[in-house]
Amino acid sequence: MTGDQGPANLGDVIHAGSVIQPGHDATRTRNITLLLATSVAIIMTGFGIIMPVFARRLGEFGSGVEALGLMTTAFALATFVAAPFMGALADRIGRRPLILLSLISFAVVNVGFLFARSTGEFTMLRVVEGLLTAGLMPAAMGIVADIAPEDQRAQKTGIVTAGMGLGIVFGPVLGGVLYDAWGFGAPFIASAALATLAFLFALVMVPETRPAAVRRREAMRLRRTSTSSTPSENGRWAFLPRPRYVFGTLLLLDFVIVFEYTFVEPQMIFYFYEQLQWTTIQFGLVIAATGVAIVVSQALLSQISDRIGRKPVVIMGALLFTALPGALAFVTWYPMMLMLAAVAGLGLGLMLPALNAFYLDITQAQHRGRVQGVKASSASLGGVFGPLVLAGITSLIAPQGVFLAAGAILVATIAICLIGLREPDRTPHGEEAKGWQRSADRSSLAAATLRGISSRAIISRQSRL
């Protein structure tokens, strides 16, 4: 800037050399993404630590598989009910409070597990846990959408979900070691400590990406546009992304992914142990191969859909994921099972970031948390129905029949995705980029207006001198 000193009654005339225009800060985006991924990795490690302990503890209470299944179903139902409300709350009050609530609630519930003295108390604590932690991933994905440009969304969501996968893969191993070494209490204490650490880390390091000023500005814009909208555009379901059939197809895919896992896993465990006579270590290595492949592919390959499009990567990942039910149905040679499990993990790791980014691409900014809550609710519903359907058919068909049914459901879902998914409009970078462009145009117009005022002030001063 430069200034000209004139008469006192005119003051200084300032020439603006440039106008700062809005846009995405690459360094800020990278730092927040890594901080968020670290928080999620810590909390998911704590979640994984306690998973192997539940069956042991329930056995001490005289309960068995049925009680464990009921507890798992209760947690999934609680998440199903709470996730949409928590997502909407993240849009209304901000992302950060929901993340902090989820982390501290998880820590408190894990302390509560130490004092539970019956299966009923354990189940009730799991329900509370599902209700209070349901907002974690909707809020986390909302943060990624707030800070990442569209052509980097899959990459950034892949980093966050890779942190989640890392905790889920290594947490159970750590939990087993703690249980064997120090008994029932150690895994829950470690899990509560990790959750508290994640809470403190997020409290200090993770910023609010949807502050009150942004929420007020969007509310004012919505009030202006609502007067010219039709009743259907302002109704209860107006927040749902369009086209609705694309959104419905994405929800179906989320449901099927979780359904497949919860439908196949219990049968897979007994099949490995009783029919193939494989050891616990061999089973653990199969799960580890899948998990490591998921984490690595999310961390290293998630940006592919940013380059070639969401739909092809979703379809390709789903096709690779069919290797798991196919291997379970037809493969008995252990090295081949390991390899195909890794292929399935690679497919899932490719698909999940593209799927998350797909949702964000078609969702309006003010509804991202709410839509992510609906997404989480659909996935939780898959976790409810998977075990229930398995329980209903397991006495009627052989294990291979279960695996073939899982493969058939997955193939049918892929066929629906081929028809029902349409590549989101990301040219040039979708509606958000158009908003940035409009802001830039307004900045340029403001700069031109200010230059005109400055010039007239200089001319007025010179005429008086």
Q: What is the CATH number of the domain that holds 261?
A: 1.20.1250.20
Confidence of residue 165 (pLDDT cuts 50, 70, 90): confident
Structural domain of residue 327, as residue ranges?
26-212+241-426
Do the Cβ atoms of 126 and 113 come closer than 8 Å? no
Quick one: tokens of 410? 């997955």
Quickly tell me which residue has 């809020």 as its tokens: 139
Q: Which pLDDT tens digit goes with each residue over 399-413?
A: 899 999 999 999 999
Q: Judge whether 447 lies within some domain.
A: no
Average pLDDT value for residue range 15-40 = 71
Q: Which pLDDT tens digit goes with each residue over 337-389?
A: 999 999 999 999 999 999 999 999 999 888 888 999 999 999 999 988 988 88
- CA proximity to 201, closest of 326, 352, 87, 46: 46
Q: Judge whether 435 lies within some domain.
A: no
- CA proximity to 142, closest of 87, 204, 179: 87
CB atoms near residue 43 (< 10 Å): 29
Q: Judge whether 434 lies within some domain.
A: no
6 φ, ψ to 5°?
Answer: -125, -165
Quick one: tokens of 393? 């058919």
Quickly tell me which residue has 């980014």 as its tokens: 357
Terminal C-alpha separation, the chain? 23
Do the Cβ atoms of 444 and 4 come closer than 8 Å? no
Contacts of 60 (CB under 8 A, 6+ apart): 184
Do the Cβ atoms of 190 and 49 come closer than 8 Å? yes
Highest mean pLDDT among 177-191, 311-325, 374-388: 311-325
SS3 363: coil
Least confident of 196-200, 203-207, 411-415, 438-442: 438-442
Q: Residue 274 gets which letter from DSSP?
A: I
Q: How many residues does this entry show for the chain? A: 465
Q: Judge whether 315 lies within some domain.
A: yes
118 φ, ψ to 5°?
Answer: -155, 165
- Position 140, amino acid: A
Do the Cβ atoms of 146 and 210 come closer than 8 Å? yes
- CA proximity to 276, closest of 327, 333, 326: 333
Q: Judge whether 448 lies within some domain.
A: no
- What pLDDT is recorded for position 20? 45
CB atoms near residue 42 (< 10 Å): 23
Q: How far apart are CA 121 and CA 343, in angstroms?
A: 40
Do the Cβ atoms of 162 and 295 come closer than 8 Å? yes
Q: Residue 273 gets which letter from DSSP?
A: I
Q: Which pLDDT tens digit goes with each residue over 84-127?
A: 999 999 999 999 999 999 999 999 999 999 999 999 999 999 99
The mean pLDDT of the chain is: 83
The DSSP result for 126-165, as a single string, is HHHHHHHHTTHHHHHHHHHHHHS-GGGHHHHHHHHHHHHH
Q: Judge whether 12 lies within some domain.
A: no
Report the number of distinct structural domains present in the chain.
Answer: 1
- CA proximity to 61, closest of 118, 14, 21: 118
Helices (H), 271-309: 280-301, 304-308
- What pLDDT is recorded for position 73? 84
Q: Judge whether 129 lies within some domain.
A: yes
CB atoms near residue 224 (< 10 Å): 9
CA 382 to chain centre: 16
Q: Is the pLDDT score of 216 beyond 50?
A: yes
